[in-house]
Structure 1
Amino acid sequence: MHHLPRRPRVGHAAHCSAVRRLNLWGGKRCLQKRYPSQRPSLSGILIFMDEALSVIQGAITSIINWTPSQLLKEIILVGDFSSNGELKAYLDEIKLYNQESPGLLKIIRHTERKVLAAARDTSREVAMADVVAILDAHVEVNVGWAEPILVQIQKDSTVVVSPVFDNILFDTFKLDKYALAVDRFNWERWCHYDSLPKAWIDLHDVTAPVNPSIMGILASNRLFLGEIGSLDGGMLTYGGENVELRLRVWQCSGRVKVLPCSRVAHLERHHKPYSLDLSIPLKHNATRAAEIWMGEKDMVYMAWNIPLQNSGIDFGDVSSRMALQKKLKCKTFDWYLKNVYPVLKPIHSTAGYGRMKNPLDESVCLDQGAIPGNMIMYYCHQYSSQNVYYHPAGEVYVGPLIAETDIDDCCLTHPGKGEKPTLEPCSKAVKNRLHIHWDFKLGRAVLNRTTKRCLETKRDTSGGYMFALQTCTTQVWTLQYTVGNWGQTNAQ
C-alpha cells in the first residue's frame, strides 16, 4: 500500500524541506509583505501524463501545506490518458486527502489523449474558484506562493500572472535556484531568459511584478481566462502555447506579469512523455500562432526555414480563433511590437533564405560553424546554424535569425585581404570597414561588390571543403527559398 499523508498540514519532513528552500531563495522582503485579509479563492490545477505517483503526491502536499486553507477551494487533478499502471491502480487512493478536507481533491480522467493545452482547458471549465492556477503535476510550490497571485489578480482581473521558477534536479532532487529574469521569445518562438528591464530596477522594489514576460505555468481570473478564449486547444503536444497566450492576452486588452514573491519549483523530467520528436508540433504551434496573432508571420516561417507558400504545415482550423480576435477587438501585432515588446525586430527586406549550397557537392551546405567567425561547409541538416538570409542591399546573414534589436546578425564579410571569408556581427563589420555587401542572384556567383572577389569552395587535402575568395570562375550558388520575384530568371 502506498503511504498517502492524510493530514493537510505540515509534517516534519515537509517542513524541513520547505524551510531549506525558503532560505535558499532568500525571500525575506517577500515574507515581510502584508496582504489584505479578503482575497479571492483559488483552484489549484495539476495536469499530468505518466507522472510518478509520488511526484503528484508531492505537488498536492506542497499546495496544501503552503496555501492558506481558507483560500484553497479545490485541487483538480487532470490525467491526460496515462499508460502508467501505478496511476491506474492507485490514483484514486489520493482522495484520502478528502477525509480531513471534504471535496478538496477532484480527479478528471481523459479517455483519450488531449495533450497539454486541451487538458488545461478541461480543468478551467470545471474549476469553481475565483482564480485558477494551472500547474504541471511535477512541481512543488513554495512558502507564500499563492498570496501574491491572488492579490495581483484581485487588483486587476485582466492580469495573467506567473511565478518565478526554480528547478529540482530529477536525479538528486536538489533545488537549483533560478534568478529573477525576463522571459523573452525569438522568431522561432523559443523562450529564453534576459536581463531585467531598467524600469523595474529603478523601482528599487525586489517584490514588484515584472512585465512583459511569458508564463509556462500560469494563474488567472477564471472568468477572464474564459472570456479571452482560455488555452488554444488547437495547439499540439506542448511548446509555444505559452507564447500564443502571451500575445493574445496583451493584444486583447490584458497584461502578463511575473511575480518575484511567488516561487514554484519545477521538477525536470528525465524524458518527455508526449513525443520523442517535437519538431512537428513545435512548427505547428509556431505557425498557428503566427497566422492568428502575428502580422509579421513571414518572420516565423523564415526562422523555421519553412516556405512562405505551400508550407506543408497543417496548423489546423483557425477560424474560431480569428472570430475571437474580431469579437474582442484585439490590437494588432504591430501595436504589440511598438508598445509591449519593442526589442523584437522584424526584417522586411529578405530576398531569399534557407540552405545555401553549390553544385560542387549538393550534400553540404553553408554553415555558421562552431567557432565564432569561422564559417564552414557541412553536411546539410535541419538546424538553424545553416540558415542563410540574403537581402537586396547585399548583406548575407548566416545562422539563426536574430530577434532582438540589441543583438546583431552575423554578416558574411570579405576582410579585404587574404582568401578567407569571415562571419562578423554586422555593426562590428561596418565599424571595422569590412566588406559586407555581395551581389547575388539565384543560381549565379556570389560577388563582393567592393573587392570584386567571389565566394567559392574547393577541396582541401583531407577531402573536405574550404572557402576561397578569388577571381570568379564558373562556380554558382543556390538558396532554398525565395521571397517575391527575386528567384525568377527575368528578375532584375
Structure 2
Amino acid sequence: MFSLSMQVWQCGGSVEIVPCSHVGHLLGEAAAMRDKETVRDRLELREKLKCKSFEWYLDNIWPQHFMPKDDRFFGMIRSRLTDQCMVKPTGKGTLNQPTGAASLMACTAGHSLQQMFVMTPEGAVMTDEAVCLDAPERDDAIKPKVRVMACNGSRRQRWKYHHENETMQHASSGLCLDIPKSRNPEDSLLLSTCSQNVSQRWILEAVPWK
C-alpha cells in the first residue's frame, strides 16, 4: 500500500523494488477501516519512532514529485501572443509515460491536469508522470523543437524564467522558448535566439493550492 511505503521511509526504513518478487494481498469481506475520534496514538507513535515529515519525504525520497510547494511555481504556462496554454502530450513513450511535442491548446477554466506544470528552483519544468520540458543542447540549421520527455536531471531539461521580460530561457543552449510562425497549436514549440518578440513571452499563471 502506498501509505505504508511512505510511513516506512519516514520512520527510518526503506522500500526496495524487486522485479521477481511475488506479493499476495488478502481482502476481508468488509472494510477493516473505521472512523477514529482521535489520532493521538498515531502522533505519539510517530514521535516515539522519530519519524520525519511528509515534506522531508518529498525532498529526500521523491524529489521528482509533481506536488506543489512554497519554493516552486505550480500552475499554467500561458502564451502572451496566442493566449493559449502549454499542454502535456497524449502520446506514450517506452515507459508508458506521456511523450511528444510540447504544444499549445485553449486554456481550460477548470484547471485541467493536462495543463498543470511545476517549475522547480533548479529550473526543471515538469508535469505529472515524471515528464519534463526537454530541448537539444545546442542550435543547428533547424530551430530545435521542444518536447516533453521523461525527466533525467540533465541541463537540456533546465530553464530560467525572466520575470522582467517574460521569457523562458533554455539553460544549456541559451535560446528562448518560442512559438512557430505557423501558430498552429498542434505544432511543436521551438527554441529561437532570444529577442523582444511577443511570441517568446510567457505568463506563469499560478494556481492556488493551499
- Which range, TM-score by smaller chain? 0.5 to 0.7
2:34 aligns with 231
Q: 1:329 aligns with which of 45, 48, 57?
A: 45
Considering only CA atoms, is the larger Rg found in Structure 1 or Structure 2?
Answer: 1
Identical pairs, percent: 13
TM superposition shift of 1:471: 1.8
CA contact (8 A) 1:396 1:436 kept: yes
Q: In 2 relative to 1, CA 477–324 (structure 1 residues): closer, same or farther, beyond 3 Å?
A: farther
Q: Does 1:359 align with 2:76?
A: no
SS of aligned partner of 2:179: strand
- Structure 2: distance between partners of 1:337 and 1:421: 31
Q: Does 1:413 align with 2:142?
A: no
Per-residue Cα deviation, 1:144-192 (whole angstroms, up to 9, x for no partner): xxxxxxxxxxxxxxxxxxxxxxxxxxxxxxxxxxxxxxx658xxxxxxx
CA contact (8 A) 1:395 1:411 kept: yes
Q: 1:470 aligns with which of 164, 173, 192?
A: 192
- Structure 2: distance between partners of 1:209 and 1:463: 47
Gaps of 5+ in 2: 4-15, 92-98
TM-score normalised over the length of structure 1: 0.29
- Structure 2: distance between partners of 1:477 and 1:232: 47
Q: In 2 relative to 1, CA 329–424 (structure 1 residues): closer, same or farther, beyond 3 Å?
A: same
CA contact (8 A) 2:73 2:118 kept: yes
Q: In 2 relative to 1, CA 413–482 (structure 1 residues): closer, same or farther, beyond 3 Å?
A: farther
CA contact (8 A) 2:118 2:125 kept: yes
TM superposition shift of 1:350: 4.8
- Structure 1: distance between partners of 2:133 and 2:186: 23
Q: Does 1:451 align with 2:173?
A: yes
Amino acid at match of 2:89: G
CA contact (8 A) 2:146 2:190 kept: yes
2:182 aligns with 460
Q: In 2 relative to 1, CA 218–390 (structure 1 residues): closer, same or farther, beyond 3 Å?
A: farther
Q: In 2 relative to 1, CA 365–332 (structure 1 residues): closer, same or farther, beyond 3 Å?
A: farther
Gaps of 5+ in 1: 1-182, 186-195, 234-319, 403-408, 484-492
CA contact (8 A) 2:87 2:102 kept: yes
Q: Does 1:370 align with 2:98?
A: no
Amino acid at match of 1:476: R
CA contact (8 A) 1:354 1:479 kept: yes
Per-residue Cα deviation, 1:263-311 (whole angstroms, up to 9, x for no partner): xxxxxxxxxxxxxxxxxxxxxxxxxxxxxxxxxxxxxxxxxxxxxxxxx
TM superposition shift of 1:436: 2.2
Per-residue Cα deviation, 1:47-75 (whole angstroms, up to 9, x for no partner): xxxxxxxxxxxxxxxxxxxxxxxxxxxxx
CA contact (8 A) 2:78 2:86 kept: yes
1:345 aligns with 62
CA contact (8 A) 2:105 2:185 kept: no
- Structure 2: distance between partners of 1:350 and 1:482: 14
CA contact (8 A) 1:456 1:469 kept: yes
- Structure 2: distance between partners of 1:359 and 1:367: 15
1:426 aligns with 151
- Structure 2: distance between partners of 1:198 and 1:368: 31
Per-residue Cα deviation, 1:209-246 (whole angstroms, up to 9, x for no partner): 46xxxx9x6568x9xx6xxxx4348xxxxxxxxxxxxx
Q: In 2 relative to 1, CA 350–373 (structure 1 residues): closer, same or farther, beyond 3 Å?
A: farther
Q: What is the correspondence of 1:151-170 to structure 2 with a 5 Å cutoff?
A: none
Q: What is the correspondence of 1:83-122 to structure 2 with a 5 Å cutoff?
A: none
- Structure 1: distance between partners of 2:70 and 2:181: 34
1:480 aligns with 205
- Structure 2: distance between partners of 1:369 and 1:232: 41
TM superposition shift of 1:472: 2.0
Q: 1:383 aligns with which of 112, 123, 132?
A: 112
Per-residue Cα deviation, 1:321-363 (whole angstroms, up to 9, x for no partner): 454644x534677378999xxx96145795212111122132x
- Structure 1: distance between partners of 2:192 and 2:77: 19
Q: In 2 relative to 1, CA 376–321 (structure 1 residues): closer, same or farther, beyond 3 Å?
A: farther
